[in-house]
Amino acid sequence: MTVPVSPNSKLTIRSCHYRDLEALEVLAAKACETEPNTCSIALNQKLQTTRRWYGLFKLLSWFPNPYQYYFCGFVAEENQQVVSVIQVSPFNSTRSTWRVDRVITDSDVKLQKNGFSDIGSQLLRHCFEHIVEARTWILEVNVNQKRTLALYRQNGFQPLAQITDWAIAPELLEQLAQHEPELPNLLPVSNADAKLLYQLDTVSMPPLLRQVFDRHINDFKQNPFGSVCQQVQQSLASSEIVTGYVFEPQRKAAIGYFSLEVCKDGNKPHQAEITVHPAYTWLYAELFSQMARIVQNYPPQSLQLASADYQPEREEYLEKLGARRIEHTLLMSRSVWHKIRETKPLEALQLSEVLQGLQPRTPIPTRMSFKSIKALRKNPHPPNSQSDRSSSGDDSSQSQNPPEAQL
C-alpha cells in the first residue's frame, strides 16, 4: 500500500522517544523484506533490546558511560507518521568524530522529489547542525547499495578505504589450531597498556585515517563501570570477549593485538578484531592460530573479521588460508564546519576570486614624501623672510658643493 504525502506538508525531525520504538520496528522489518542487509537486521535487534531495557538506557544516558549513546538517533515525521530514522553514535572518547550507523526510510512513502534522498538528506543535515561537538563524520556502506551510496555522496561524504569482511570456516579453524603459536610475550590487556595499544593503532593506519579517527589513549582504556556493564552484557548475550597483545621487549612496544568475541551457544559466528604492526606481518599466522585454539573450546562456528585495502598482507594471508569474502563495504568521511556559512557553492568559487587579495595594486601618486612629512612635523612654522630661505639655500648649496680645500 502506497501512502501519498502532500508536497505542501511539513517534515518534522526530532529525537527518538519510547513511543517511536514500535513504529521503528515495523520500519526495520519492512527494510529487511525489501532490501535485506545487515544494517536493517542490526537495527531491529537493537530496537528490541532498547525497548526491553529502555528505563535502564535512559538512566545511563545522563552520565558518561559506554552505554550513554546506546541508541542515539532522530526520526522524520510526516503527517504524524514516522517515515524515516537515522542512528548515530560517537566514534572516539572525545566525541570529535561521530559515526552514522544507518539511515532507513519507509518504502511505502512516496514524495514528489526523490523521497529517500530528500528525507535522508534532511536527517543528515539535522545531525550535522545539532551535534555541534562533531568535527568529522564517518560511515560504512555496502558497495551494492547504490541508493544509499548516492545519498551519502550527495551530502559530501568521500571514500576513505575499501573494507572486506571475511569468514573462516570451522574446518580451517581446526587446522589452524593444530599449529603451536610462537608468542612468548603474549600478555593480557589492561588499562596500563593503553599507551602501547594507542601507539600500535597509530602506526598501523595511514595518516588520513589517523586524522579522521582522532583516537587518543583514553579510547583504549576502560573504566570500572564499563567493565561491569561489559560483563553483564556478556552474561546476558551468552558471549565472552578474550583480548591479548604481543609485547616487544627490545623496542618496548606492542607489535600485535587481537580481540575475540566468542559465542558460547553457537547461535552466531565468532567476531575478531586484529591489529598488527606493518613491520611484523609474520604475526598474522601466529595470532590466527592463537584465536583458533581459543574457539576450539566452544561449539563450532565460523570466525568473521574485516580487512582494509591498506592492509595487503592481511588480505594476502586470508586468501592463501582459504577464507571466504562475505561483504564489501566502503568507509567514507565528511568534515563539518559549524561556524562558517558558505555564501557561494564551492564548485562556483573561481581561483581568481580566491587570489584577488594577493594581486599587486598600483600605488597612488602623491605630492608629499615621507621626508617632507617628517620635516614638517619637526618645524611646523615655515620661514617667513626671504633671507631665511636664502640662508637655508646657501647652507644646502655649501653642503652639496664643498670647497676643494676641504677634500
For 102, which DSSP code? E
Selection from 281, 286, 233 nearest residue 261 by Cα: 233
**How many Å apart are CA 259 and CA 204, to the nearest integer?**
16
Selection from 29, 32, 71, 39 nearest residue 54 by Cα: 71
164-331 is a CATH 3.40.50.10540 domain: no
Measured CA to CA in angstroms, residue 5 lies from 1, 11, 12, 79, 113 at distances of: 13, 10, 13, 8, 11
Per-residue confidence of the chain (407 residues) as pLDDT tens digits? 333 344 445 788 999 888 888 888 888 777 766 665 555 566 667 777 777 777 777 777 787 777 788 888 899 988 888 888 899 999 999 999 999 998 888 766 654 444 567 888 999 999 998 998 899 999 999 999 888 899 999 999 999 999 999 999 999 999 999 999 999 899 999 999 999 999 999 999 999 999 999 999 999 998 776 677 677 776 767 788 999 999 999 999 999 999 999 988 888 899 999 999 999 999 999 999 999 999 998 999 999 999 999 999 999 999 999 999 999 999 999 998 643 344 344 444 455 554 555 556 555 555 555 565 566 566 655 555 444 444 444 444 444 444 443 32
Selection from 122, 50, 45, 35 nearest residue 86 by Cα: 122
3-state secondary structure of 66: coil
**How many Å apart are CA 343 and CA 349, to the nearest integer?**
10
Q: 213-252: per-residue pLDDT in tens?
A: 999 999 999 877 667 767 777 676 778 899 999 999 999 9
Q: 110-146: per-residue pLDDT in tens?
A: 544 445 678 889 999 999 989 988 999 999 999 998 8
Domains 3-156 and 164-331 share a fold: yes
**How many Å apart are CA 135 and CA 336, to the nearest integer?**
5
The b/e string for 30-45 (b: 16+ C-beta within 10 A; e otherwise) is bbbeebebebbeebbe
CATH of domain 3-156: 3.40.630.30
* Contact (Cβ atoms closer than 8 angstroms) between residue 296 and residue 174: yes
pTM tops 0.85, yes or no: no
What are the extents of the domains in the chain?
A: 3-156, 164-331
Q: 378 burial class (0-12, 13-18, 19+ CB within 10 angstroms)?
A: exposed
